[in-house]
A = this chain, B = another copy of it.
Amino acid sequence: MEAISKELLAGNRRALARAITVVEDGGEEASALVRALYKHSGKAHIIGVTGSPGVGKSTLVDALISECRKEDLKVAVLAVDPSSPFTGGAILGDRIRMQGHTLDKKVFIRSMANRGHQGGVSLGTYDAVRMLEASGYDVIIIETVGVGQSELAIAKTADTTILVLMPGSGDDIQAIKSGIMEIGDIFVVNKGDLPGANKSASEIVASLELNKFTNDWRPPVIVTVAETSQGLPELWQGAKDHRKFLQDSGELTRRREQRIEAELAEIVADLARRNLKDAMKSSGDIRKVLKEIVALEVDPHSAADTLIAKLFVGPS
């Protein structure tokens, strides 16, 4: 791990790729890497891009990379799919669209899937962001495939969350109804050349008027055509404005505290799971409890109360 850390800090892409694989897998090796590199993290602007399938997130991200590159910023994309073996193909297809940047040494694109890490894909994502930061990336875009609960959790990893909608899909209405609006720091109506784009944008603006904001940031609503980069300079400026707002208002620290709190809960939960798994392998007593539960002699909740005391008293 020490060699990888050193090369990663020096900007070596292969070491970076290897490190992300390690943190995706979780466990002791992942923890060791994070311990070594944590103090080099925390500097990038982390941008989450989320929205339903088909709204053009990947093309938008591609265009956003170009905006960052105009300022010679190092940009990384983590395309996160918290679900499914079945959608794996779709993600790969999306990645191919970003080929325009594959020869650019200051762009790094990586798909992350759930590699069986029990803690889900979020823990791996937190740590992958740290690896990218330690490797000198200025902007890290986390693109999620859908807008499910786990995608929302991942979006919260970001400093700035961009919620992407398209005209006429009804997503805007559903987003307004479902309260998903609250996670957006910036709203994009992509495919702005389709009929109804301005109407969708106005509806979003109107619904935002009704929101109670907990701070002084008013989310901009930006109409884009990602394929021709229309609206992209405005989007990138909006992202930079938001980042400046976060820093000036102290909101950045508050958000990072919330994020770390959520992460700690997941790490602790993951440790608990792993402790139990190890104990199951080595302890006849604990396997006996399992049989008693199946035989309906004791219920799982009572059993868990007893187990948790046994698991954590003693060596940490």
Task: List the interface of chain A (C-beta within 8 A of B).
Answer: 31, 34-35, 38-39, 41-42, 52, 82-89, 114, 118, 126, 146-151, 171, 174-175, 178-180, 253, 256-257, 260-261, 263-273, 275-277, 280, 290-291, 293-294, 296, 299-309, 311-313, 316
Distance A257 CA – B265 CA, assembled complex (angstroms): 27
From B178, B299, B307, A35 is in contact (CB under 8 Å) with: B299
Distance A149 CA – B114 CA, assembled complex (angstroms): 8
Identical subunits present? 2
Closest CB in chain B relative to A181 CB, distance in Å? 11
User: What would 8 more interface pairs be, CB under 8 Å, given A34-B299, A263-B300, A309-B316?
Assistant: A83-B146, A84-B151, A85-B147, A86-B174, A257-B290, A268-B307, A268-B311, A311-B312
* Chain A binding surface, main DSSP class: helix
The reply to whether B296 and A42 contact each other, CB–CB distance below 8 Å, is: yes
Closest CB in chain B relative to A218 CB, distance in Å? 23
The reply to whether A84 and B312 contact each other, CB–CB distance below 8 Å, is: no
Closest CB in chain B relative to A206 CB, distance in Å? 20
| Closest residue on chain B to residue A118 by CB atoms | B265
The reply to whether A253 and B38 contact each other, CB–CB distance below 8 Å, is: no
List the B side residues contacting A87 at CB < 8 Å.
148
The reply to whether A301 and B253 contact each other, CB–CB distance below 8 Å, is: no
List the B side residues contacting A86 at CB < 8 Å.
52, 146-148, 171, 174-175, 178, 180
The reply to whether A268 and B260 contact each other, CB–CB distance below 8 Å, is: no
| Closest residue on chain B to residue A126 by CB atoms | B300
Closest CB in chain B relative to A231 CB, distance in Å? 23
Distance A275 CA – B312 CA, assembled complex (angstroms): 13
Closest CB in chain B relative to A158 CB, distance in Å? 16
List the B side residues contacting A118 at CB < 8 Å.
265
Most buried by B among A146, A261, A271, A300: A300
Distance A34 CA – B300 CA, assembled complex (angstroms): 8
The reply to whether A312 and B302 contact each other, CB–CB distance below 8 Å, is: no
